[in-house]
Structure 1
């Protein structure tokens, strides 16, 4: 059993000592199982017929002061920032208390798949968001948790539901895009799918996490309305509707309060207002002060107890800075959550790769990618009509790009686009490849083919934001990708561009090519999924969860350093609620491709909209010649209750996804509640519904509205 860093660490911040002492539990070393709860006759808290609160109430008084503190921090530095890259190591570990039958808890990174040695590399979460499908989100969470469970984990760190503020954000690929409603409604089924596998989820990063630049020290100034309407709804839904077992607080400060020490958010909103009963875990090394974290609502420090250790917490209690009741409350939150999740009452999950059903996981990865591949432009080039020769241009044709950082997954296997397309095209077609380094050579290869497909990539991930939105900024080692696309398009009129990016990029060549396919970071089934979509075996199922701008300066939080990247490590969210497409709509800026946009291989009509306060209905009809997938979207334009409360022209309030045969119609319903019409009233500190006229809009994107109506008092 590894040494208990959380018990004995004598000096806060002594990272070198922690590294040396934690080395007694080396990565990959087999841990001795400490056993499970035990005999209820000897340990009454082991009785599963009691409620989690009753069991916690019986166990807590039996714990020593040191044992309580040991439950409030993870124990293994190698199970922290480095652990996920080792074959058997967990991301974090709390060793439990063997004397009392408290089992260890093992944790894994998991927003895009399990980061623990090799695993199934699922498409990036932004691709899931593009699927606009609650069912697919449930499949995604369930797949991650199934693999996490069979790697011996009790907790998976995911989903990431941070609302995208700027497309330069290095972790754009890791979240669900720019709309809080979409993030919330995908996060909930993700969590339910994961926890149905017996694994606890840790939704992250509460409360505002908007950029990588200066993330460890950044102070984010956000007004209460913007916080409530944009950044908190995904977390509120995760707790209230999804039942998330744990919540991870992030880095930086919100209005001068460190995220993992924020009493206003963690205690008052999360626990008192939303009724959260689980535990709050820190992002790695995020807490700054032991007493302030304890009083501010943090239950468990990761990856080790730099702040939450016996020396600092006992001293804080002795000095009257923290009450023993506060310490006990944090321990109770951890124990209660473990009892509720059944951790005490089951055998430890085996860390055994052979138990993972890789066929099921690979199928899930392919289906998720197919559902998220987004057809941005199509001038008749797609679906492919059995071309005899295809020229593939770009390095990404032979790999599956991914984001880097804690969401990066080492795949079991990977099917490249070249492999998938060659298999689908069959022996009768000639598939050639050029890496695109020499534009002239690439153009010549394209000229000799029936169809040219150019693969363009960016590079993003944790720790660094993108310096700009061009392909060159995102992938400096690839050279001039925009120029490459233009030269290939000039050489072959049947040029298609496949974008493997983690978010929006500029597309100055959009008018020069026949087709544009946004395939995101596609996961290990990249080639199979792309081939099926390009050949029309399945309809491209994706719609944009983010807006693509025409120009760099069009993007939100552009051109004002106080908004981004900040001045003196302070960022002011002066745009308020005008985030994402709300920004473009409010300023009258035409995007290159709007939020919600995505083409099918067929066409759809919308008719007979009926709007009510409890639901909006509309008939969707396939008006084309092929079976295809429609994603009808409901937007509401709300009245401004006063001069100081400016509303966006429209807000997403519903969506669904339907597959229809040619000529087939279906009636879809968008359920509504009072919250659908509410805004955050800062004076009342409550959600309020303003009187006035509400515009109701249904269409295929935020800029393609097919049916309109009104509700409320309209003159």
Structure 2
């Protein structure tokens, strides 16, 4: 290769018509070199389907350029090649089943081949440190072990089919507000035990071929030129043999990234424009050998995947097959949070009223990750916006499930809770409540839409540097903004608004039912969430409605929800995030330094500090660093529904768990699970450990429990089965270890480890299985 050819291959191409695919105008590829038999290398975004997949209408190529001289429609436009809009990645995590993550990857890989694509920019492995993070739906939740386990299964499914998966965003990229410039300050122990752990699992267990560096700065250095992350940790410590690509426009300089471990700039030549690289070469700041190494790392992965051996071509997508799998994934992801006998609904119902907010999408249209509020899929809204061939609305799904023998009426209520529409006809709220009072069943749909580009919070101005109201307000079902991918302010074009959803629910539950059943015993609240939501205490418990969490279900929304409500699917999902009681969340006690950050450092850059250290998600509620969540009788007053929680339409009994040593540093936890109900269903057994007190001598105070294993088991009524969950002290997730920053190594603290077995992270759902001494592989 000539030097010019090498430099051309280091970056993505400017938007262009693809020579091999003249029907496609795209900006997510590296142009091929026909004379060298180097194919065009095509990249698609993710992770909830093939969004922004390097092919919009060729007619757009003649369109105007933006101020940067680029036709931005190449990156996102409704004419994008269609694909299956899957349930959110967080939904897949809620299955607590690696097989579902594998199915997720199978759908993606199949359609990548159909569309002639090579690289999938996913899975996303950042953690739900902030429940209001705009991209939580793209990730796998708040626990690093669960995240890593699901990622490994998805990566293997994609790469086993001759494609490249790309773990992102590396690393400590848990905030969208000011994401291009934010400085993340996080101690190395926290970084290793939480935020790097899913990536380590992806590299070591998943053999992921590529990693995407992030926009943010980490401990003073840009992620895409961070030698500690890209070379010392990723390559030297973990043995990563793949290549590192930038997030779009994330690269901030020319020389340092190449010297410190970056291999590929996207989406076009900017910091690695040929003129800049030639200047650096002439000055001796970089060498041609460094360029060769960067290209070799990417080419090796392309050769491994067989990309050089395949002719670039398109073939028809089997949209029906993708839809069926999306529906299956969504059904396995749904979590039954509480049920007072309302569910499952009977197919013999005569009348069902579906209620939602007129300003919200949940009861009106299919909802997917990356969708602009109130607009159809494919109208923009972030990297995850997928253009599907069809969608199934909530009303369509419910009517299909109920059949010709019943009616479904759609009620939409205004934010003030004064006016409404009934099937499009103007009505008062009283009239709408009277309709609900007489109905056989009532379904309310609400939730928390979020997108790439912003977090669910209200700021003083569009700079996003200072909050105008507490961050916890964004956890409410009432908070929304017209454009959730833009910073919301107290006033202005994108002012944060109050939907009145909580007040409507309370008003509905106080309404006297006229159908022979109390309102609470015939009402179901269906949540469609980016991640967790803070729930009013009045909704929790026997006086509240049945509650189902469906996440962001994607194109099969209506069918997925109807399958669960009418019992075609027996819900078996579990929460990958903690649901707090309103007013008692982590965010109610977070400082400005924790979110959105405070001015500090070079250029007065906004700095966010992970001051909570190891206490995120359920670990924060268990550890109770603020002293506001004292656990009593195994229950935490701040938690509405704990991490790992989920109910079923049947019931299960678990025998006491047993621990047996299986070798040096390895054990197996086993128990018998019995379906004691009348329906086939699935239970998810979970194992947590409490590290010995000596763990604190190696750094931060450890939370009381950490997840180290889980197994899903499906059983017929009356059937029993054994679950066996391995525990390996030397596993990639370091289940019994802590990171000792002074020694720069993983250390197993001296003393006995308590092993817990049960069905959620809550103390009331766990029983001690025994104690082990890792130093002696002893059990007692």
1:459 aligns with 2:490: no
Compute the displacement of 1:514 (Å). Answer: 2.4
- Answering whether residue 478 of structure 2 is matched by residue 472 of structure 1, we say yes
Paired residues for 1:118-157 under 5 Å: 118-157=82-121
TM-score by length of 1: 0.87
Q: Supply the distance in 2 between the matched residues of 1:564 and 1:70 (Cα, whole angstroms).
A: 40
Q: What is the deviation of 1:101?
A: 1.4
User: Is 1:689 matched up with 2:748?
Assistant: yes
1:528 corresponds in structure 2 to 559
Given that residues 575 and 646 in structure 2 are in contact (C-alpha distance below 8 angstroms), is that contact kept between their aligned partners in structure 1?
yes
- Picking from 318, 321, 327, the partner of 1:366 is 327
**CA RMSD after TM alignment:** 2.0
Which aligned pairs between 1:323-362 and structure 2 lie closer than 5 A? 323-348=287-312, 350-352=313-315, 355-362=316-323
Deviations 1:162-213 (A, max 9, x none): 1111101011111000000000000011011112232211111111110111
- Structure 2 unaligned blocks of 5 or more: 54-79, 371-381, 420-428, 458-473, 482-495, 514-518, 600-605, 625-629, 631-635, 661-665
* Per-residue CA distance 1:81-100 (angstroms, 9 max, x = gap): xxxxx994455110122221
- Kindly indicate whether residue 365 of structure 2 is the aligned counterpart of residue 399 of structure 1: yes
**Over residues 216-259 of structure 1, what are the superposed CA-to-partner deviations in whole Å (9 max), with x where a residue is unaligned?**
10110111111111011111111111121111111110001101
**1:93-492 equivalent positions in 2, closer than 5 A:** 93-115=29-51, 116=53, 117=80, 118-348=82-312, 350-352=313-315, 355-385=316-346, 386-394=348-356, 395-404=361-370, 405-437=382-414, 438=419, 439-467=429-457, 468-474=474-480, 479-491=499-511, 492=513
1:619 has 2:580 as partner: no
Does structure 1 conserve the Cα–Cα contact (< 8 Å) formed by 2:130 and 2:174?
yes
Structure 1 contact 169–466 (Cα < 8 Å) conserved: yes
Deviation at 1:410, TM superposition (A): 1.9
Larger helix proportion of the pair: 1
Aligned residues: 645
Q: Distance in 1 between matches of 2:501 and 2:641?
A: 20
Unaligned runs of 5+ residues in structure 1 are 1-62, 81-85
Could you tell me how far apart the structure 2 residues matched to 1:380 and 1:157 are? 43
Whole-angstrom distance in 1 between the partners of 2:547 and 2:436: 16
Q: Does 1:505 align with 2:533?
A: yes
Distance 1:451 1:360, change over 3 A: same
Please tell me whether the aligned partners of residues 203 and 247 of structure 1 are also in contact (alpha carbons under 8 angstroms): yes
The match for 1:67 is: 5
1:277-331 CA-partner distances (Å, limit 9, x unpaired):
2111100110110101111211110001101121111211221222222222111
Q: Note the C-alpha offset of 1:551.
A: 2.7
User: Aligned partners of 2:299 and 2:563: how far apart in 1?
Assistant: 47
- Determine if contact 1:558/1:564 at 8 Å carries over to the other structure: no
Q: Give CA deviations for 1:426-472 in whole Å, capped at 9, x if unaligned.
A: 11112111112234343222112011100113221111100111122
TM-score between the two structures when normalised by the length of structure 2: 0.80
Residue in 1 that maps onto 2:576: 545
Equivalent in the alignment of 1:17:
none
Q: Deviations over 1:113-161 (max 9, x none)?
A: 0114221110011111111110000010110121122111111111111
Note if contact 1:638-1:693 (Cα within 8 Å) is conserved in structure 2: yes
Q: 2:689 aligns with which of 610, 632, 636?
A: 636
1:565 aligns with 2:596: yes
- Please give the secondary structure, in 2, of the residue aligned with 1:331: helix
SS at match of 1:147: helix
- Greater CA drift, 688-697 or 434-443: 434-443
Counterpart CA distance in 2 for 1:317 and 1:519 is: 54
Q: Is the 8 A contact 1:557 1:564 kept in 2?
A: no
Kept after mapping to 1: 8 A contact 2:614/2:700: no
TM-superposed CA distance for 1:639, in Å, is 1.3
Whether contact under 8 Å (1:635, 1:696) holds in the other structure is: yes
